Structure formats: C-alpha cells, structure tokens
C-alpha cells in the first residue's frame, strides 16, 4: 500500500511539474502585447536587437530579457510559451530565416552551437498549433 501511495505522489508531482508554465513564460508574459512588427519592419532597431542577442552591442531591458530566455526557448521549442509567445517566436524566426539568414545563422551558432535543438525547433516553427 505504501508503494502505491508513493507511486501516486510521484506521478502527481511529475504532472504538476510538467504542466507548470516555464519561468520564461511567466516573466515574458509582460510582452504578450509587444508589437513585434514594429521591430521587424525597422532594420535599425532589429539590427540593434540582434547585436544585443549576440553580445555585440548594448541591450534595452526587453533585449536583455529576450537574450536571457532564448536558450530555454530553443531547447524546449517554446513548449512553455503562451499561444501569443509561440506565434511571435514563429514570426521572428521566419522573418530572420527569410530576410536576415546570416544573422539567423549567427544566433544559432551562439545559442545552439552543436545543433542539438535545431530539428525540433524547426518542427515547432513550421507547425501551426
């Protein structure tokens, strides 16, 4: 009986941990209404964000947040992200791949140098969930 109760407790903890929002999601929720088009449409601003992400230039407070959580987002393919965060991540990634492929390559080299997360992240970006 003790083993059964222990097994139920472990299962409940696993479900709770697995269903809890990632720390990045909670902290980045303040950006759910962030106008990403404004950045993507302005090459000067976008270039500054990219420099920030690559540790090659100064960062705005938002840029610091994005830079801090990008590795987790790549690792888990935005699994803990809200729907709006997933949509924005897909939009940003698609834009960088298509319009700034050299910058996208540099970002991947910095945040996923072994390419461990690329395949799963590409599946996420190409999905429509």
> Which residues 6+ apart lie within 8 Å of 32 measured at CB?
82, 84, 85
Q: What is the pTM of this model?
A: 0.74
Q: Dmax over Cα atoms in the chain, in whole Å? A: 65
Q: Which residues contact 61 (CB under 8 A, 6 or more apart)?
A: none
pLDDT at 12: 33
What's the pLDDT at 28?
61
pLDDT tens-digit series, residues 2-35:
333 333 333 333 333 343 445 555 566 777 777 8
What is the model's pLDDT at position 50?
95
Q: How many CB atoms lie within 10 A of CB 123?
A: 10
pLDDT of residue 36: 87
Residue 127 has pLDDT above 70, yes or no: yes
Rg of the chain in Å (alpha carbons): 17
Contact call for residues 28 and 65 (beta carbons, < 8 A): yes
pLDDT, tens only, 62-101: 899 889 888 988 899 988 888 888 888 999 999 999 999 9
- Is CATH 1.10.2080.10 the right assignment for the domain spanning 21-126? yes
For the chain, give every domain's residue range: 21-126
């Amino acid at each position: 009986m003790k083993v059964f109760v222990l097994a139920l407790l472990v299962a409940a903890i696993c479900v709770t941990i697995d269903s809890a929002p990632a720390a990045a999601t909670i902290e980045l929720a303040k950006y759910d209404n962030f106008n990403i088009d404004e950045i993507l449409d302005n090459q000067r601003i976008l270039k500054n964000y990219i420099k920030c992400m690559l540790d090659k230039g100064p960062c705005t407070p938002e840029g610091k947040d994005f830079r801090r959580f990008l590795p987790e987002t790549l690792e888990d393919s935005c699994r803990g992200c809200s729907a709006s965060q997933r949509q924005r991540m897909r939009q940003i990634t698609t834009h960088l791949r298509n319009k700034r492929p050299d910058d996208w390559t540099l970002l991947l080299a910095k945040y996923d140098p072994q390419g461990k997360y690329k395949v799963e992240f590409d599946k996420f970006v190409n999905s429509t969930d």
